[in-house]
Amino acid sequence: MIEHIVLLAWKEGTPHAEQERLLRELLALKEQIPGIVSVSGGENFSARSQGYHHGFLVTFKDRASLDAYGPHKAHQRVVAQLQPVLQSILVLDFERATE
């Protein structure tokens, strides 16, 4: 399994309703893109966030699924909506370690 972690920091003044709408769009990608096993995310509640407001975890069945996700039209549509309202984004991908 591949884990795709995404941290989002909104530009100041981004309406909460717009943030929530975009978060729903991100969560809905599971139903639109093959190879996504699960999607979860939410709003940060910790003082340790270094300015990031929301985090997401997308689990893919394999690296090929992650590779197909980036250029997928549904993902690109959400990215285009996010770009104008994001201050910064941090992404980390890793293969899940097993015991």
Please list the rounded mean pLDDT of every run of 10 residues in the chain (99 residues): 96 94 93 96 88 94 96 96 96 87
Query: Is 89 part of any domain?
Result: yes
Domain of 57?
2-94
CATH number of the structural domain spanning residue 48? 3.30.70.100
Question: Among residues 75, 72, 71, 38, which one has the least CA distance to residue 57?
Answer: 38
Query: Is 71 part of any domain?
Result: yes
Domain count, the chain: 1
Parallel/antiparallel/unpaired status of strands 86-95 and 36-43: unpaired
Query: Is 99 part of any domain?
Result: no
What pLDDT, on the 0 to 100 scale, is given for residue 99?
A: 60
Dist. CA 54–CA 42, nearest whole Å: 6
Dist. CA 68–CA 35, nearest whole Å: 9
Q: Output the pTM of the full model.
A: 0.89
Question: SS3 of 34, please?
Answer: coil
> How many other C-beta atoms lie within 10 A of the C-beta of residue 43?
13
